[in-house]
Amino acid sequence: MTELRPGDASLLRKVNTQVTLRALRREGVATLTRLGRITGLSRQTVEAVLDELGERGYIREIPPDEGVMGRPARRYGFRADAGHVVGLEVGGDGVVVALADLNGDVVAWERAELGDDMAAHERIEAARDTVLKCVNGAGVAHKRIWAVAAGTPGIVDRTGRVTLSLTLPGWTGLDLAEVAGRWFGCRGLAANDANLAALAEHWRGSARHASDIVYVLIGHRAGAGILIGGRLHRGRSGAAGEIGTLRQVGWEAAARDLVKDASAAEVFEAASKGDHEARERVERYAEHLAVGASALILTVDPDLLVLGGGGYSQAGDVLLEPVRRHLAELCVSAPEAVASTLGDEGVALGAVRLALDHVEREVLGLQ
Amino acid sequence: MTELRPGDASLLRKVNTQVTLRALRREGVATLTRLGRITGLSRQTVEAVLDELGERGYIREIPPDEGVMGRPARRYGFRADAGHVVGLEVGGDGVVVALADLNGDVVAWERAELGDDMAAHERIEAARDTVLKCVNGAGVAHKRIWAVAAGTPGIVDRTGRVTLSLTLPGWTGLDLAEVAGRWFGCRGLAANDANLAALAEHWRGSARHASDIVYVLIGHRAGAGILIGGRLHRGRSGAAGEIGTLRQVGWEAAARDLVKDASAAEVFEAASKGDHEARERVERYAEHLAVGASALILTVDPDLLVLGGGGYSQAGDVLLEPVRRHLAELCVSAPEAVASTLGDEGVALGAVRLALDHVEREVLGLQ
């Protein structure tokens, strides 16, 4: 714990507040006595801190259970609904929005379809409409939205600006973080979609127990996100994991071949039913996917490879089996390969995590 | 700083010793008064600690300069020669040995040529002979060797065992760390050669000011080492950076083509003099090198790419120029690419750093 000089009263008060809030958030509900014991602070200090936190709306007093005799000890709880965050994916063909409380529990989802060829301002407007529909539908006041984070394909720098988009018209140069923050006059954040999906998978998906993770987000264009030691590795310019842009890897051509006359789900369905041509097509796709994944694996040597992306990750063994087989051939030491369990919600959920990280650090002072 | 209970005397003494030794090592030479001021310890405590460190041979009293009048203050210095470490490279065609003191200053080098087809026990014996020649030639007592670290091609796990070697006969399964430690009855360590060269480049080479680094060790077989946040990233099985094993990258075939009828140095020399066939050969080699480097770069998005490897890294612009040109084409955001400044000494120097890290942490308690 930070050592404080006795005279440094305001800093001391801030630290006491953080310690108490952290303890209460972990405990869920606690009495004043219990909080004093956990934090090591005096009863008087805890009382003062709780008053302040109550005024700010971060905590509330929990009414005593009915039927309790005598004078029950006062109990306090963290108000997870004191604020909310919005996480969204803005992709080529759709928007997915998640509204979550301060515990990260998603209280509302909203989706909309978009066209590949929409102009940037139309795409932004559609994203904004979907976000507002989600927040208004849940009855959350706009001033209670403390941060909005957006995930999108392409290279997004540390400030949340899209520095390169090869798929979305007019997207290169867009300050997506600034745009997203403007909707509620709060902090906006933005990151690459595959990076956020990797973050979500570590938080709530298949990769909870892994530390170094390679996540491949499959789709018309595949991207990858990398976690090192459980933390997102974005790289110097935000381009970490952009192996899909390497022509030699052949991801884009392989994806085009896969869906040339049917949706990916249809091809996987046909293949799983034994259709010969569909099986061959999936086999070719799996091989290309494995070559790119191998380049990532032979660079990072991760604990786990996760394949995600709505419609693709749900293919199951019909895709996973050939991918695993090719990985075993290509990699001197192939890690376990699993499918994402988050369906098409990974990117939005990762955006929620990114927004929560900001709120916990900058607003609540919890990290 | 760790908080200590007043009764915890032996731990307190240990911490005081570490603090004083760290201060003295940083200062080089210091008086008792100065050490007291830096460490915040009492004169009496510093005196007791210095006595103990003197008995262990880690420090010595520096005699006063001649001609100083009156009674000069006693001065103490860290004894960098109290112990030594050995760092070596055991490769396909040679051994390079560096003997260094506790400051990491190399006091002796030794080299020997080896044959590609030597049996494992012959290669080990040749390495041992070269190491002994180096240590004995420098007149350092064997008991003063505190750690030996070896770098070698192939996959080396965290315990220092070679789990896969595609080049050296009988090398797979060798516990190289154990073998190296046996020579002086001290701690032995081992790691992949490219990983150690990357470490050296960050310590004393071209990459001193970079944090995320991709280092490609060029040779008959190219390997790569990766630093994230200035720290070596070895991966789950020690296979991080093994992109050269991916056939699609084509490094091995390209290297064979480059040196099919001459040494690499000769081809680079001819190319730099304008020989048309040599230039074309270097161009092809550079393109393949750039494809593999791009796979690493598009995964990690590093601050810096370093090309190393004796004979290759000295090629200079005749190789660097086409590599940079291809990287710019292949990577959405190519980092700066530079040549190693450590020649063929990089791997051994990185092994010295690995051994020193062990000694500083486990013997001196400095990290």
Query: What pLDDT digit, counting tens, does each position of B298-337 carry?
Result: 999 999 999 998 777 778 899 999 999 999 999 988 999 9
For residue A186, the SS3 value is: coil
Residue-level pLDDT at A259: 85
What confidence category does residue B367 fall into, taking pLDDT thresholds of 50, 70 and 90?
low
Q: Is A302 on the interface with B (CB under 8 A)?
A: yes
**B9-78: CATH, from 1.10.3720.10, 1.20.1510.10, 1.10.10.10, 3.60.15.10:** 1.10.10.10
Which ipTM value was assigned to this complex? 0.87
Query: Exposed, middle or buried: residue B192 (CB in 10 Å: 0-12, 13-18, 19+)?
Result: buried
**B4-47 pLDDT, tens digit each:** 455 566 778 888 888 999 899 888 899 999 999 999 999 999 99
Which distant-in-sequence residues (6+ apart) come within 8 Å of B108 by Cβ? B98, B99, B134, B135, B137, B138
Instruction: Output the pLDDT for position B245.
Output: 87
What pLDDT was estimated at residue B3? Answer: 46
Q: Report d(CA B20, CA A146) in Å as an integer.
A: 48
* pLDDT above 50: residue B71: yes
Domain ranges for chain B: 9-78, 84-196+346-363, 208-341
Question: Do A9-78 and A208-341 share a fold?
Answer: no
Mean pLDDT of the region B233-245: 93
- b/e sequence A122-145, b meaning 16+ C-beta within 10 Å: ebbebbbebbbebbeeeebeeebb
Residue with the larger pLDDT of the pair B316 and B227: B227
Report the pLDDT value the prediction gives residue B208, as an integer from 0 to 100: 95
Q: How does residue B362 score in pLDDT terms, banded at 50, 70 and 90?
A: confident
**B301 vs A contacts (CB less than 8 Å):** 234-242
Higher-confidence position of B109 and B167: B109
Interchain pair B248, A248: CB under 8 A: yes
Q: Which residues of B touch A230 (CB under 8 A)?
A: none
* Cα–Cα distance, A245 to A296 (Å, whole number): 13
Contact B166, B156 (CB under 8 A): no
Distance (Å) from the alpha carbon of B86 to chain A's nearest alpha carbon: 28
CA atoms of B208 and B205, how far apart (whole Å): 6
Query: B232 vs chain A: nearest CA distance in angstroms?
Result: 11
Chain centroid offset of residue A259 CA: 28
Q: With contact defined as beta carbons under 8 Å apart, do B328 and B365 qualify?
A: no
pLDDT < 70 regions, chain A = 1-9, 67-68, 367
Alpha-carbon distance of B33 to B42, in angstroms, equals 9
Chain A interface includes B240 (CB < 8 A): yes
Give chain A's largest Cα–Cα span: 78
Backbone phi and psi for residue B25, each to the nearest 5 degrees, phi listed first: -65, -40
Contact A236 B302 (CB under 8 A): yes
A330 and chain B in contact, CB less than 8 A: yes
Q: Is B367 on the interface with A (CB under 8 A)?
A: no
Can you give the pLDDT at residue A2?
A: 44
- According to the model, what pLDDT value does residue A364 have? 80
> Would you place residue B63 in the very low, low, confident or very high pLDDT band (cuts 50, 70, 90)?
confident
Average pLDDT, chain B: 91
- For the domain spanning B84-196+346-363, the CATH number is 3.30.420.40
B182 has a pLDDT exceeding 50: yes
Tell me the average pLDDT across B66-89. 87
Would you tell me the crossing angle of helices A276-300 and B276-300 to the nearest 10 degrees? Answer: 90
For residue B299, which residues of chain A lie inside 8 Å, CB to CB?
224, 226, 240-241, 243, 295-296, 299-300
B48 touches chain A (CB under 8 A): no
Residue the block writes with tokens 């539908």: A137
pLDDT at residue B121 is higher than 80? yes
Which CATH number describes the domain made up of B208-341?
A: 3.30.420.40
Look up residue A151 and give its two tokens. Answer: 């995930």
Whole-angstrom Cα distance, residue A301 to residue A188? Answer: 33
Chain A nearest CA to B311, separation (Å): 25
Which residues in chain B are contacts of A299 at CB distance < 8 A? Answer: 224, 226, 240-241, 243, 295-296, 299-300
DSSP A144-157: GEEEEEEEESSEE-
- Ramachandran angles phi, psi of A190, nearest 5°: -150, 150
DSSP B135-188: HHHTT--GGGEEEEEEEESSEE-TTSBEEE-SSSTT-TT-BHHHHHHHTTTSEE
Cα four-point dihedral sign B325, B330, B336, B338:
negative
Cβ-Cβ pairs closer than 8 A, A with B, add up to 122
Cβ under 8 Å to B: A residues 244-273: 245-249
C-beta atoms surrounding A180 within 10 Å = 28
Which runs of E-coded beta strand occur in chain A? 29-31, 59-62, 75-78, 84-90, 94-101, 106-113, 145-152, 155-156, 162-164, 187-192, 213-217, 223-228, 231-232, 304-308, 336-339
Does pLDDT of B116 surpass 90?
no
Angle between helices A264-272 and A317-330 (to 10 degrees): 90
Q: Return d(Cα B4, Cα B26) in angstroms, integer.
A: 25
Could you tell me the CA-to-CA distances from A351 to A132, A309, A344, A346, B82 in Å, in that order? 16, 15, 13, 9, 54
Strand locations in chain B (E)? 29-31, 59-62, 75-78, 84-90, 94-101, 106-113, 145-152, 155-156, 162-164, 187-192, 213-217, 223-228, 231-232, 304-308, 336-339
Phi-psi region of A96 (alpha: psi -120 to 50; beta: other; left: phi over 0): beta
Spatial contact of B110 and B131, defined as CB atoms under 8 Å apart: yes
Q: Check: CB of residue B205 under 8 Å from CB of residue B341.
A: yes
